[in-house]
Structure 1
Amino acid sequence: MIAKFSHLCSLKLFQQQLRVTALSTCLRSIRPHSTAVDMDKVYLRHAQNTEELHITFRYSNKELKLDRSFNFCRRMDERVDEALSRIRHNVEKELSKRSRKKTKGAPAVVEPTPPPNPDEIIVALHRDGSEEGILGITFAELLSDLANVQLKLRVLDTTFDVVLNEPWTGALQLPSSMMAGCLVYPLKLELQFASRAHSSGEWFKATKPASGIFNEQTKWEPCGKGLIYQVAPADIGYHLKLVVTPANESGHSGPATECISKLPVQPGPGACPFELRQQYTRQPLSGTHEIRVVSYNLLADLYADGDYARKTLFPYCAPSALKIDYRKQLFIKELVGYNADLLCLQEVDLKIFEHDLQHVLEHTFAGIMTPKGACAEGIALFYRKSRFQLLHNYVLHLGDNISTLPIFASLWNRIKHNEQLAKRICDRSTTLQLCLLQLRETDRYVLVANTHLYFHPDADHIRLLQIGFSLIFVEHMYRQTIKERNISSQNIGLIFCGDFNSVPECGIYKLMTEQFVGTDFVDWRSNAEEAVTDVELRQPFMMSSACGTPPYTNYTTLFAACLDYIFYQSDCLELLQSVPLPTVEELSANEAIPSVTFPSDHVALVADLAFKSI
């Protein structure tokens, strides 16, 4: 508890009497990174909509053998004199501790340096040009006028300038796994009063000293600039250090913060099959009406990190190759190398989207993440900013909406009487992303759909209904777009990507490519208790599968088949190329996938499309 004290008129009196307990810790002792705090500044940080005030300064005195950064967390409604008392108490404690500590290896006769008399430890806050201490007001009152007043903080023999809300690095952490040939970037980078776009980074490398501890004598060799670094084969065996200087759009920069990797750079897995596929996508498409599309199920960490995954689903995969820190390096390298215009991704962990994909791709792509209900994974769509302008982003949570949206009434009324069926389909978290994009500097539009349908083996009827509802929604938005924007049907094309969990023999492929599934189709009876009767599906789009029907897009020891598709509107778009998929020999080289060279149990589909000439 913070003790409450009456106003004290004398700075000397409150220094002698006030003793309070508060959070006060040394930055360097608890954080995996260190900040090069200027020795002539006290940094105050107060974020909007919070009551916390963080105070940081570095005090250095060679005679007293003290060089330490102090960090305090106070409240805005606290009186300044109470916080000053806490600072003084901690400085006094640190000085006392240092004075009792003998220098290692020094003769026993060497007397420890006596600490200053407590009465001589002065900690005072005053305005520039005045020696009168500031007492009896809260930090909120003090800081309300800081723009017009320069404050000084005196700690013993040192006077600091007080600065408020300078760019700051709140947290910095490097990943535990770093491989040659892959990208490395901060696993965690929290900036305050700064932005990534304006902050800078410098990379260094060094081998760990024989002592096992990096110190001031360690020779760090510069190896890269920016917040993202392409790890080179020459870096294998070296530890990496990242130095981040936070800055904002006004040109102000704050103290640099550095972080050293816990482990050295490791060799990569060697040649990966996706690198052979990238020979077809070495350069981005240059034609104004051409579009490269990737659809890829990344295998969410949610389904790969656990005993069931390791022992049942993927027992053939080395445990280290199942870890997300390993896999994400490969699938990011794979995605970047396809030079795509559109990335439709499934099973994307929220943390991977926020901390990895967004930051690696942000210079080229804009991304949209759609979680599957309360699940920690979902679907994501990235589009190349130089090629597209986003006009609309629609999200359809099928389970929540199929019983309520008027456009679904006709189909819903045919199945709702089967309570078990209705409950099962409404309980699903299946989600559809639908984005309307305009090709820049053209009058061409694409409507891009991305989904991941329900997976259960006895659920062909559920998946068929899900795609039926999805296509009703897509058709509705397609016609509304044409009407609102007065677009010719030849100038807007539909691209529908995803993990459909459906083989080509099932009704989804038939509905997509033949536009019709009748009432007697076998999928309707995939679960006898939930059998769908008197339902047929139609859809108006002429669609083709860009990658055809390959034997496998998913390949594990428990199941292997074609489940993923890039469907495109063939009367509006044409196929320029489909990048060949890995061979069975490549997929089975380590029994199945995922493996040391395949980061997912699915493979990416890659196709180049173009608008047909009018």
Structure 2
Amino acid sequence: MLSLVPCSIINSLFLNSAFSNFCGKAPLIRSVSNYALQHQYNMHVAYFRQLPNEEQCAITFHLASERYKINRVFNFFRDVTENIDASTERIKANIEKETKKRMNKKKKAKSGTPSEQLGTTELALVNDVLPEVGVRFFDCDKEQDIKGIAFSELLKRVHEEKNILLKILDDDFRIDFNSPAVQTINLPQSMLAGFYVYPSKLELVFAEKEQSDFHWFRGKMPKSKNAQLIEWEQIGTGFSYMPTSDDVGHHLKFLCVPKNSQKSGPSSEITSVSEVQAGPGQCPFDVRHLFTQSKLVNGHQFRIVSYNILADLYADSDYSRTELFGYCPSYALHIDYRKQLFIKELIGYHADIICLQEVDSKIFDLDLLPVLRLKSYDGHFKAKGKTAEGLATFFDVDRFEVLDQQGITIGENLETLEAFQCLWSQVKSHEKLASRISERSTAIQVTLLRSRQNPMKHLLVANTHFYFHPDADHIRLLQGGFSMLYVRSLYEQFEEKLKLERDHFAIIFCGDFNSTPECGMYRLMTERFVGDEMADWQSNEEEAIRGVTLSQPFQFQSACGCPKYTNFTVGFQACIDYIYYQSDALHVNDVVPLPSEEELLAYSAIPSPVFPSDHIALVANLEWTHKLDEDQQG
């Protein structure tokens, strides 16, 4: 069947097949298009590829000879310590084997044809005369064959751009070493009109994504084998694409032309398994976007979002589908569906700082970071211990410069972090309590940002997600105490190191604290002190804490106040998410209204087809209280 594919297209197919197999992965290319014809190398190219730290070199070339009736892609994997004479013999043997196979087919097909009607080569095949196959490496500068050297030496000469050819039969093949290529490419299972679609996985080798070209096509797949082949229409360019209502019912195809600063590689493409579907209609966050239609332009202001996006780790289980979120249709729990919603939601807030909780590590790497970078954000991830989800903080690189970014798992640092020792010494003798808090995977992430418009202004942005268990108010309160000790120690370090003025250096602490306003964490943040009479200390009789008080020196307020709900499931509804801000340095200008209870109840609770998480995003506009004039800004 290979001979039926245009030769100028085959390069794209065989290069990806050969290289992905060399890397231990099956080829993922499913279709070709006329567009791809414009992005191929000349057919007479032998692709040599050696990954870093690998001792093998992959060799791929397409040999198409009318004279010898060969039209096939050949793949070889040679050890770089091997003598090239052995390599050429191996290549020769495989070509001869293919020629013999063709000979047997021709012999059978032409056995009844008069000899005078056969060509010279066909006659030779029928008469069992095997054509002589020549395979050699040739140095054009020295005009002589290359023999007797190790394969690694040959690669060195090729890398040094020596004029070396691989001569096979009647053809001369230019050797292309480590050209840009697509190693893996996938599209998501779910694609909705009105929501961003992009590769769910794209791995390039010897290429840079920022320099590569991306193209989108749509077409309707044939319903039967005898139906007319699909015709592709180009509909967009760029890494991401937002399908329209016109795309509904069509399959999408994504084509990548891998590039680096020196050259391009063969294009690769993939067709979606499913068709584009209609979106869920207006989502509640579409209404909220009416309050955030553009970026804030005042240099003294910035917009911040805090959002628990519901990790796939917790949504994709039998328990979640049948018990925890049994009211939510299964398709709306699938991560390929939900991520379309929360990415569009996040982008539409036009925030300057985004703090996320319950972020799957794969979602950070393959979805959030690639897409948000296209919107001028950068960010970092902190896993919760050994759990495959954690915290992510993003910031607009046009508004802020990152000076430092850190993160710790609290339980892993109780014995070693100097800032923790005073509080830890008060509870570590309680064996059961100490064991429970030290085994938690709770993490805290901290990012130090400097305003690009007001370089004297600095923000210390903390992000966390406290332990969830109903009998653990005491654990969460301790986590709050340790978190503030950690934040305070970093604040004082940066203050001294960078000579920062307190009027121009503020803390913002975001997260899912799993604590209602009646709990001790809210009191610690807003009143700066929690006494030993606090009911939280007694939330578990076997782990009850006595004689411990907590304090922190900063003036904090909750930017969004204490709404009735920030988490809304059938089994639990309460305010447990907050954006705490330092109120002596910052003040709130606006808060984006939260969805109504009617919206939350439209599908019994959330998540739902229009809510991607069981939490609601908090969005607030903050402003520096102490302004700077132009002379002060320098």
Change in Cα spacing, 1:214 to 1:224, as seen in structure 2 (3 Å) is: farther
1:41 maps onto 2:40 in alignment = no
**Partner-residue secondary structure (3-state), 1:495:** strand
| Shift of residue 396, structure 1, vs aligned partner | 2.2
Superposed, 1:511-590 pairs within 5 Å as 511-590=524-603
CA–CA distance in 1 between the matches of 2:437 and 2:225? 57
Change in Cα spacing, 1:360 to 1:127, as seen in structure 2 (3 Å) is: same
Q: CA RMSD in A?
A: 2.7
**Partner-residue secondary structure (3-state), 1:194:** coil
The equivalent of 1:19 in structure 2 is: none
1:72 maps onto 2:68 in alignment = no
1:219 maps onto 2:231 in alignment = yes
1:314 maps onto 2:319 in alignment = no
1:31 maps onto 2:35 in alignment = no
Change in Cα spacing, 1:214 to 1:349, as seen in structure 2 (3 Å) is: farther
Aligned 8 A contact 2:100 2:130 in 1: no
2:407 to 385, 392, 395: 395
Superposed, 1:161-172 pairs within 5 Å as 161-172=174-185
State the number of aligned residues: 587
Change in Cα spacing, 1:178 to 1:88, as seen in structure 2 (3 Å) is: farther
Name whichever of 571-580 and 148-157 sits farther off: 148-157
| Shift of residue 97, structure 1, vs aligned partner | 5.0
AA in 2 matched with 1:552: Y
Aligned 8 A contact 2:587 2:624 in 1: yes
| Shift of residue 132, structure 1, vs aligned partner | 4.6
Aligned 8 A contact 1:26 1:71 in 2: no
| Shift of residue 473, structure 1, vs aligned partner | 1.3
The equivalent of 1:275 in structure 2 is: 286
Taking structure 2 as the reference length, what is the TM-score of the superposition? 0.87
1:188 to 201, 216, 237: 201
CA–CA distance in 1 between the matches of 2:260 and 2:78? 25
Aligned 8 A contact 2:22 2:58 in 1: no
Change in Cα spacing, 1:403 to 1:25, as seen in structure 2 (3 Å) is: closer
1:175 to 188, 196, 202: 188
Aligned 8 A contact 1:125 1:134 in 2: yes
The equivalent of 1:6 in structure 2 is: none
1:298 maps onto 2:309 in alignment = yes
Name whichever of 358-367 and 69-78 sits farther off: 69-78
For residues 512-565 of structure 1, the C-alpha deviation after alignment (integer angstroms, 9 at most, x for no partner) is 111111101000001111111101111111111111111111111122211111
CA–CA distance in 1 between the matches of 2:19 and 2:178? 20
Name whichever of 142-151 and 458-467 sits farther off: 142-151
1:208 maps onto 2:221 in alignment = yes
AA in 1 matched with 2:52: Q
1:434 maps onto 2:430 in alignment = no
2:493 to 462, 475, 480: 480
| Shift of residue 382, structure 1, vs aligned partner | 0.5
Aligned 8 A contact 2:504 2:626 in 1: no
Aligned 8 A contact 2:181 2:206 in 1: yes
Superposed, 1:337-486 pairs within 5 Å as 337-363=348-374, 364-442=376-454, 443-486=456-499
| Shift of residue 56, structure 1, vs aligned partner | 2.0
Change in Cα spacing, 1:117 to 1:189, as seen in structure 2 (3 Å) is: farther
CA–CA distance in 2 between the matches of 1:179 and 1:97? 49
Aligned 8 A contact 1:23 1:72 in 2: no
**Partner-residue secondary structure (3-state), 1:613:** coil
Name whichever of 117-126 and 283-292 sits farther off: 117-126
**Partner-residue secondary structure (3-state), 1:178:** coil
1:491 maps onto 2:495 in alignment = no
Change in Cα spacing, 1:205 to 1:371, as seen in structure 2 (3 Å) is: same
AA in 1 matched with 2:412: D
The equivalent of 2:256 in structure 1 is: 244
2:607 to 584, 594, 604: 594
Superposed, 1:255-266 pairs within 5 Å as 255-266=266-277
Change in Cα spacing, 1:69 to 1:566, as seen in structure 2 (3 Å) is: farther
1:144 maps onto 2:156 in alignment = yes
Aligned 8 A contact 1:33 1:173 in 2: no
The equivalent of 2:55 in structure 1 is: 51
The equivalent of 1:88 in structure 2 is: 92
Change in Cα spacing, 1:40 to 1:382, as seen in structure 2 (3 Å) is: same
Change in Cα spacing, 1:569 to 1:126, as seen in structure 2 (3 Å) is: same
Q: Percent of counterpart pairs with the same letter? A: 47
For residues 163-208 of structure 1, the C-alpha deviation after alignment (integer angstroms, 9 at most, x for no partner) is 2112111222222221111111112211111100111111111111
Name whichever of 203-212 and 349-358 sits farther off: 203-212
CA–CA distance in 1 between the matches of 2:110 and 2:67? 18
Change in Cα spacing, 1:342 to 1:101, as seen in structure 2 (3 Å) is: farther
| Shift of residue 408, structure 1, vs aligned partner | 1.5
For residues 452-501 of structure 1, the C-alpha deviation after alignment (integer angstroms, 9 at most, x for no partner) is 11111111000000010110111121122222222221101111000111
CA–CA distance in 2 between the matches of 1:122 and 1:178? 51
CA–CA distance in 1 between the matches of 2:68 and 2:614? 61
CA–CA distance in 1 between the matches of 2:603 and 2:86? 65
CA–CA distance in 1 between the matches of 2:410 and 2:605? 33
Name whichever of 172-181 and 411-420 sits farther off: 172-181
Aligned 8 A contact 1:330 1:599 in 2: yes
Change in Cα spacing, 1:556 to 1:53, as seen in structure 2 (3 Å) is: same
**Partner-residue secondary structure (3-state), 2:285:** helix
For residues 401-438 of structure 1, the C-alpha deviation after alignment (integer angstroms, 9 at most, x for no partner) is 12222222211111111011111111111111111100
Name whichever of 382-391 and 49-58 sits farther off: 49-58
CA–CA distance in 2 between the matches of 1:427 and 1:348? 20
CA–CA distance in 2 between the matches of 1:25 and 1:98? 25
Change in Cα spacing, 1:362 to 1:99, as seen in structure 2 (3 Å) is: farther
1:234 maps onto 2:246 in alignment = yes
Aligned 8 A contact 1:25 1:71 in 2: no
AA in 1 matched with 2:566: T
| Shift of residue 117, structure 1, vs aligned partner | 5.0
CA–CA distance in 2 between the matches of 1:25 and 1:91? 20
CA–CA distance in 1 between the matches of 2:166 and 2:351? 55
Change in Cα spacing, 1:65 to 1:219, as seen in structure 2 (3 Å) is: farther
AA in 2 matched with 1:31: P
Name whichever of 49-58 and 115-124 sits farther off: 115-124
Aligned 8 A contact 2:21 2:27 in 1: no
More helix by share: 2
Name whichever of 257-266 and 531-540 sits farther off: 257-266
- Alignment gaps of 5+ in structure 1: 1-21
Change in Cα spacing, 1:95 to 1:479, as seen in structure 2 (3 Å) is: same
| Shift of residue 145, structure 1, vs aligned partner | 2.3
